[in-house]
Structure 1
C-alpha cells in the first residue's frame, strides 16, 4: 500500500469512528488536542499523524491504535465494548445479544455465532 493510500485509509477509519461517536471534527480535534484544520487534513489523508498524535486520537475516539493504523481490533477494543455492555440491564443485554446474532446472520455467518 502506498503512503498516500495508507494516509487516506487511516483518515477514513478516524472519520468513521468519529461519526460513530457523534462527534464533529471540531469536537474530535479538541478531544485529541489537535487543531481542527490539522484533524480535517488527517481525515482526508492529506496529512500524516506522528506516533504521539495517533495515541491522542485513539484515546479521544476510545479505540485502539491497532484499529486506526491497521484496521484490526485488539483487547483494548474488546474491553471498551465490555465497559459499555456492563451498563446494560439483563433484559437490555439479552436484546442486544439477539441483535448481534441477527447482524452476524446478515453478514453471512450462518448460525450467528462465528
Structure 2
C-alpha cells in the first residue's frame, strides 16, 4: 500500500467516525483548534497527521484509535 492510498483510507475512516458522531467539519475543527481546511484535507487524503494529533482526534470523536487506523 502506498502513502496516498493509506492517507485516503485514513481520511475515509475519519469522515465516517465524524458523521457517526453528528459533527460537522466546522465543529470538529473548532474542538481540535485547527482549520476547517485542515480537516477537509485529512478527510480527502491530502494531508498527514502526526500520531499525537491522531490520538487527539480519536478522543474528540470518542472512538478507539484502531477505528481510525483500520485499513
Tell me the TM-score normalized by structure 2.
0.90
In terms of Rg, which structure is larger? 1
Aligned to 2:24: 24
What is the rounded CA distance, in whole Å, between the counterparts of 2:42 and 2:21 in structure 1?
18
Aligned to 2:43: 43
Deviations 1:55-102 (A, max 9, x none): 11101100111111125xxxxxxxxxxxxxxxxxxxxxxxxxxxxxxx
SS at match of 2:67: helix
Deviation for aligned residue 1:30: 1.6
Tell me the TM-score normalized by structure 1.
0.58
Structure 2 unaligned regions, length at least 5: none
Deviations 1:3-28 (A, max 9, x none): 10110001001101111111110111
Higher relative contact order (CA 8 A, sep 6+): 2
Cα RMSD between the aligned structures?
1.1
Deviation for aligned residue 1:45: 0.3
Structure 1 stretches of 4+ with a deviation exceeding 3 A read: none
Matches within 5 A, 1:7-22: 7-22=7-22
SS at match of 2:69: helix
What is the rounded CA distance, in whole Å, between the counterparts of 2:59 and 2:18 in structure 1?
12
**Count of aligned pairs between the two proteins:** 71
